[in-house]
Structure 1
Amino acid sequence: MGLKRISESSVLFIIGATLVFVSFVLGIVGIATPVWTQSSTIKNGTSVEYHSGLWRVCSTIDRYHSMEETFCLSRIEASVEGWMQGVQTLEIVGLIFFVVGFVMTLALLLWSSNARLASANPWVLLVAGILLEVGVVIYVVKVDMNILGYSLYLTWVASNGVIVASIIIYCAERRNRRPTSTTVFYAPSSNTNPVQISQPM
């Protein structure tokens, strides 16, 4: 199967696909980086900065602005609360759906025009966005909103971006499925003029 020209796809689908790709990058960075929360404190001339993500908890100690040390602990090695395990599960499953949706979108953009693939694509992306969004909401409810970090915001933007993209791609797919009419000429049995009939394809 040869490559399709991107110009063969509808403008609406290209917009949705672009949003999928941008959201995918933001989601990967947000889930992987350990700055879902961040805070700092200064005591006796020593500055301590804390930041944590889904997988690691880190602290950076700066003693009198002369020596900086960073210590990180994997959440796998530490005891993790039940709600955090739930958030981790939601984000991982959501990311799996996102990867599948990303590949499907790329395939539809560059290679395939399969109707079943086109129909399933927006729903896979929608499920991915909802799972990521629910994980972010649970995390926000459980922690102090004043210490939220950039990793969480990137994941939140990604989840909303892929939900919007799924709606755009769904509309593009529905528009492509809309029947068009074609004109068919039937030869008459007698010497009369041909009969012209319009019927949907």
Structure 2
Amino acid sequence: MERHWAMSALRRFPNEILSEIFSFCVGGHSSLSVGPGKAISTISLDISQTCSRWRRVITALPRLWSSFHVNLQNIPDYVDPLIELYIARSGEHDLVIEFSLEDEVAPCWDRRELEENLGKCGIAAADLLVKYISRCGELDLSGIYWCLANAIFANVEEPSFPRLHTLTTPFDSQDPIALNFDDMPLSSRKRLWLYLRGRIPLSFRCLSSLI
């Protein structure tokens, strides 16, 4: 009876209020968060499966489907369909993509080493996301190594970052950097994690602030 009363009260909320509630629930979290093993958080999808009305409301909010945090180690093989669903429902909204590692791994310099360290499912998830890198507004690579980032992006021909405005970089700046971030017309913030004696790996050309 109490559950029925609570749901009845929620049904009386207009869609605009529901939108604000859903935004609050998802805000501060990644829309899709993939950890190692089966540690997967699908907040937006969970909300959409409550009832048909909630599904209509939240699928009309592409920004609530547009942020991804993927731990690349030991992830299950059903992650790719989830990523594709979220990408589809994000419409043309800018994406937020964060890659991380659960444990320290050996440096990966090519695709073969990448597969040995991460497994096929981790590589497949990374490949799927970087296909849409031109839609990325925020990119967080601080949880991985530059050599790993290079190996991941090696499968993309001339990756570009026309929408990127916030970049958080790995701290191992001694590694060679294969990616070119000079074509970041919207860039205003680049968070750099550097060793004390590390070289700064990026151009300052389009910066208005440095964090």
The structure with more radius of gyration: 1
Give the number of the structure whose residues are more often strand, by fraction: 1
Instruction: Report the TM-score when normalising by structure 1.
Output: 0.22
The structure with higher relative contact order (CA 8 Å, sep 6+) is 1
- Using the size of structure 2 for normalisation, the TM-score is 0.21
Whose helix proportion is higher, 1 or 2? 1
